[in-house]
Amino acid sequence: MVEEQITEEYTNHVVPKSARKSRSQVLGSWSGITSAMAFVYYGALAAVLAGVQQAIIGLVLVVICYSLLGSYSVRDAVRWGLNSTLLSRRLFGHKGAAIAPLLVGLSLVYYAVFEGTIVAVALQSYFNVWDIRVWYAIVVVGMLPLMLGGMQTWLSKLNWVSLPIYFFGVTAAVLFAGMQVGWVGDWSAFSAAASSTPAIPGWLTVFVLYMGIFVLFPETQDAARFAKERDLKFHQNVTFGWAFYGVAYLFNGLVGIAIVGFAGSSDEVSESGVVQGIIDTLGLVGLIVIVVSQIRINSANFYFASVNLERFVGHFTKRGISRKAWVVLISLVVFVLMLTNVFSYISVALAWQAVLIVTLVGIMATHSALNPRQAPEFRTHRLKAVGPGFMVWIVSSGVGIVLLQLPAQAPVLSALAPMISLGLAVLLYIAVHLAGGSAVKERRADPVRDSVEDLWNVRVECDSCERSYVAQEMDVPEQGQSVQCLACQESKRDLEDAALPR
């Protein structure tokens, strides 16, 4: 069982305390996220939208806000060994919670396409041969073997080895650009924003832009469930806290602004412009920096997309495919999506992601704040299929999506759509909670928990799949005598079914 979970990553189970990882392993695995080229690009984009000064103010506020939310996300995941889907069950119900892995999975497939496209653009621009579609295929096939590893086996090693290449590489790109072009730079790409009068203040535009990356909070939980409780403070401050966001958002954002400013050539910032800037200044070294950075971020994107999509499908069918098979399937989808020119709809994709995911995170954070000491219920038979949180998510995201479609009629409301959705989700969830709404069914006898003293160290065999898991996740279905693990509770796999050859 342990061996199977080394590749399956406890996707549909509680992570036992014996499987928790050291500080450096969790930090190493997660640190790959810092090298998303998307963050370098957002920095430049923020300055284009709001001017350099407002962009920096916005970035600092984003780092503060994300560090606080990151700290809450870590706490619940570490304490209970639960991923984002299992943590959201007490709000959305055991079927309604399927929206969490669906949104996270799709969002990360989008980012995998974005980051993969960046590598293809870099390779084409350096070698100056072949159609971009050939480079897309090379990138997808070439990266595939590196995308198969999980948090327990591979990500940490890969990221610790590649960290200096990413960090010193992008720093060198800025220094060389400054030396080549002159330290004064050419900031014309950002001047239009400074002289325009937008619907909302610049720093707020930047803040809303970064709400498109709220997916990092459920991702945080998917990674933090492997951490040890005694390392909680470290992970809240460093791995998933201010140190992480300081590098991921502020450092990368400033790098993006500086590369465009020192490049001094274009008056329009494009997604590939930042890549071009790095290749122009560092040549082959620049290409290596981009390829290594993108392997780091995409191994994270593929990992989190695969565990989430596997979990999503697990809500509806008894027999899913393995996590590694998901990685191969995602690679195919990524290749097809690359052909659609992902850069052409980036602002729409980000705005939709923002509205759909901030509401999810807002509801989860509100519940946690209202019930800081409550042990989360995640066992299938103790939850309604759909909980009130799901309805709150539908209404608050629906309002945001409608507002996004009305930029001409209601420019201010439309520009603030993710923020309005978030506020609505929080208020509606508080109202539902005060009215007594809950996804948890009425309490009934709890034979496993009542008979086992140490829920984390005692393993109980599942009568359906005949594997043993920590007592914490085991339960007896309403009218049954048999004990089931979490995965079998969800798939309703019964004893007869378990007897089928596997």
Ligand X SMILES: O=c1cc[nH]c(=O)[nH]1
Q: Is 222 in the site for ligand X (CB under 6 A)?
A: no
Chain residue whose CB lies nearest ligand X: 111
Shortest Cβ distance from residue 440 to ligand X (Å)?
31
Q: 3-class SS at 185?
A: coil
CA distance 496 to 499: 5
DSSP 56-117: HHHHHHHHHHHHHHHHHHHHHHHHHT--HHHHHHHHH-TTGGGHHHHHHHHHHHHHHHHHHH
Tell me, by CB under 6 A, how many residues bind ligand X: 12
Which range, of 95-103, 211-219, 413-421, 424-432, touches ligand X by CB under 6 A?
A: 211-219
Residue number with CB closer to ligand X (226 or 390): 226
Residues 296-315 that bind ligand X (CB under 6 A): 297, 301
Which range, of 54-62, 107-115, 353-361, 430-438, touches ligand X by CB under 6 A?
A: 107-115
Shortest Cβ distance from residue 181 to ligand X (Å)?
28
Shortest Cβ distance from residue 297 to ligand X (Å)?
5
Which range, of 215-223, 266-274, 275-283, 353-361, touches ligand X by CB under 6 A?
A: 215-223
- φ, ψ (nearest 5 deg) of residue 466: 60, 25
Binding string to ligand X for residues 269 to 298, with x set by CB under 6 A, is what? ----------------------------x-
Residue number with CB closer to ligand X (166 or 429): 166
Shortest Cβ distance from residue 269 to ligand X (Å)?
18
* R_g (Cα) of the chain, nearest Å: 23
Residue number with CB closer to ligand X (215 or 483): 215
- Count the neighbouring beta carbons within 10 Å of the beta carbon of residue 488: 28
Q: In terms of residues, how long is the chain? A: 502
Q: 3-class SS at 460?
A: strand
Residue number with CB closer to ligand X (52 or 297): 297
Shortest Cβ distance from residue 187 to ligand X (Å)?
26
* CA separation, residue 405 to residues 106, 220, 382, 434, 440 (Å): 21, 30, 39, 32, 36
The position carrying tokens 């579609």 is 133
The position carrying tokens 């005598």 is 481
Shortest Cβ distance from residue 156 to ligand X (Å)?
17
Q: Is 213 in the site for ligand X (CB under 6 A)?
A: yes
Contact between 107 and 36 under an 8 Å Cβ cutoff? The reply is no
Shortest Cβ distance from residue 37 to ligand X (Å)?
8
CA distance 58 to 257: 13
- Count the neighbouring beta carbons within 10 Å of the beta carbon of residue 153: 12
Residue 377 carries which DSSP code?
Answer: P
Residue number with CB closer to ligand X (189 or 297): 297
- Count the neighbouring beta carbons within 10 Å of the beta carbon of residue 163: 17
CA distance 359 to 401: 12
Q: 3-class SS at 21?
A: strand
Contact between 482 and 476 under an 8 Å Cβ cutoff? The reply is yes
The position carrying tokens 């499987």 is 19
Residues whose CB falls within 8 Å of the CB of residue 208, separated by 6 or more in sequence, listed in order:
200, 354, 415, 416, 418, 419
Residue number with CB closer to ligand X (150 or 389): 150
Residues 15-34 that bind ligand X (CB under 6 A): 33
Residue number with CB closer to ligand X (39 or 393): 39
Of 219, 231, 280, 463, the residue at the interface with ligand X (CB under 6 A) is 219
Which range, of 214-222, 265-273, 283-291, 406-414, touches ligand X by CB under 6 A?
A: 214-222
Residues whose CB falls within 8 Å of the CB of residue 285, separated by 6 or more in sequence, listed in order:
169, 172
Which range, of 92-100, 158-166, 212-220, 375-383, touches ligand X by CB under 6 A?
A: 212-220
Q: Is 36 in the site for ligand X (CB under 6 A)?
A: yes
Shortest Cβ distance from residue 458 to ligand X (Å)?
36
Of 8, 115, 222, 490, the residue at the interface with ligand X (CB under 6 A) is 115
- Residues that bind ligand X in the complex, under the rule CB under 6 A: 33, 36, 38, 108, 111, 115, 213, 215-216, 219, 297, 301
